[in-house]
Amino acid sequence: MLSRLRLAFRFQESGLLLIILVLGGFLTLFSGTVRTPEFRISEDGTRERVFTVDKDGERVPSFVERNKFLNAQNLAQLAKDTSFIAIMAVGMALVIISGGIDLSVGSIYALASVTGALVMHAYGADGSHADSSGLGIFLGVSTCLGVAALCGLLNGGLTVALRVHPFIITLGSMAILRGVAFVATKGQSVGSFPSGFRDFVRFEWGQNISVVPLAVMILVTFLGWIFLSRFAAGRRVYAIGGNELASQFSGIRVNRVKLGVYLFSGLSAGVAALLSLGYYGAATSGDGQGYELNVIAAAVVGGASLTGGRGTALGVVLGALIIQMISSGIVILGIDQNYSQIIIGTVVIAAVVLDNLTTWMRRRRTLRTTG
């Protein structure tokens, strides 16, 4: 029993899972309940209120008592909120594991959103090319992803070609890309897309549970995990982050790998942007302000090391979930919103300290086994 337990804890992300379970239990216990109106699906497929007869014989709408945290809607909401950050965090994980940093993801997210939005707007009901075939959606999606990938390539290319620390390059591109988004939209919100696109992303399963962002998040996490743990290219990312010189001495094309990780990071911001386009049905150049910090925080909480060479895709996604649980927990528990930044900042630092502690303990253990 004990050995099986120990085996379970050798699984790298077990600590994060434990934190999530504890956090979830805590929120369930202390969040209290909420009365929500009860609905059911009638025979003709529409939703209708459920009525009961009270003790005075009157017909009254019925309510159900639900735990504020542990109910399907809230969890779906949490998953949706997490997915935007988590998807970008997978891209960020690649960059951070390779020993770099990408501060521009929030701006890439904004620029990809507005360019995609401009194209889809043109093909939408109010646009100049109004058109009911899927062409508009196809072009919009391609633009959104293409722009994001291009931005990532730009970051990678400049980092490699100019030999400047990626912090500087992406700090610059963070401002530049955001600026381009403002210029492209003149600061206006862009909306009115072909309806098919919104319907797809907002597709709901059961009652108000939107599944598309969640599914995309799971897909991206899975792809990121497979890439990092099973692909040769993923191994090279760890190698470069662990020791760039030794990687070069082993014949790894370091620059190519670096280009790749920034490309992926940009692309992941594009995927998140695409989801937000469909989900909110509009984009402005101010979208995703400050996302870079949430994404980096998620990666770090999830065990990616800023010195490079360490981290997993699943870890950073769980990190994003932890951060999202805390910020939504603050709402659920009715804590003053003004405290939320203080709490999240504290969590980031605590997570890293905890991580250093476990790394130290693991190193002690390896020292003991190898003498």
For another protein, the binding residues (CB under 8 A) are 230-233, 235-236, 238-239, 241-243, 245-253, 309-310, 363-364, 366-371
CB of 345 to another protein, least distance (A): 28
Q: Judged by CB, which is closer to another protein: 201, or 314? A: 314
Q: Considering the complex, state which of residue 167 and residue 231 has its C-beta at the smaller distance from another protein.
A: 231
Q: In whole angstroms, what is the distance from residue 243 CA to residue 84 CA?
A: 31
Measured on CA atoms in the order 267, 125, 196, 75, is the torsion positive or negative?
positive
At residue 262's C-alpha, the angle toward residues 183 and 280, to 5°, is 50
Shortest spacing between CB 313 and another protein, in angstroms: 16
Report the C-alpha gap between 250 and 239 in whole angstroms. 10
**Between 57 and 371, CB nearer to another protein:** 371
Tell the smallest beta-carbon distance from residue 249 to another protein (Å): 5
CA 48 – CA 38 distance, rounded (Å): 9
* CB-based contact 30:42 (threshold 8 Å): no
Closest approach of another protein to the CB of residue 227, in Å: 8
Of 177 and 257, CB closest to another protein:
257
Going by the DSSP 8-state scheme, the letter that residue 279 receives in this structure is: H
The residue (of 273 and 299) whose beta carbon lies closer to another protein is 299
For residues 176 and 233, which CB has a smaller minimum distance to another protein in the complex? 233
Q: Smallest distance, Å, CB 99 to another protein?
A: 11
What is d(CA 48, CA 46) in angstroms, rounded to the nearest whole number? 6
DSSP structural state of residue 313: H
Contact 252, 244 (CB under 8 A): no
Alpha-carbon distance of 145 to 292, in angstroms, equals 18
The smaller minimum CB distance to another protein, of residues 178 and 236, is found at 236
Token look-up 């060479």 returns: 309
Beta partners for residue 49, in sequence order = 39
Please, which residue, 240 or 283, has the CB nearer to another protein? 240
SS3 100: coil
Q: How far is the CB of 108 from another protein (least distance, A)?
A: 25
Helix (H, G, I), strand (E, B) or coil at 51: strand
Residue 370: CB minimum distance to another protein, A: 5
Taking the complex as a whole, how short is the minimal distance between the CB of residue 247 and another protein, in angstroms? 7
User: 116, 283 in Cβ contact below 8 A?
Assistant: yes
- Our CB check for another protein shows the closer of 3 and 128 to be 3
Q: Which is nearer to another protein, 229 or 346 (CB)?
A: 229
CB 76 within 8 A of CB 209: yes
What one-letter code names the amino acid at 19?
A: I
Q: State the Cα–Cα distance between residues 121 and 15, nearest whole angstrom.
A: 45
- Write the burial class of residue 39 (CB in 10 Å: 0-12 exposed, 13-18 middle, 19+ buried): middle
Smallest gap, in angstroms, from Cβ of residue 136 to another protein?
A: 34
Q: For residue 268, count other CB atoms closer than 10 A to its CB.
A: 31
Q: How far is the CB of 364 from another protein (least distance, A)?
A: 5
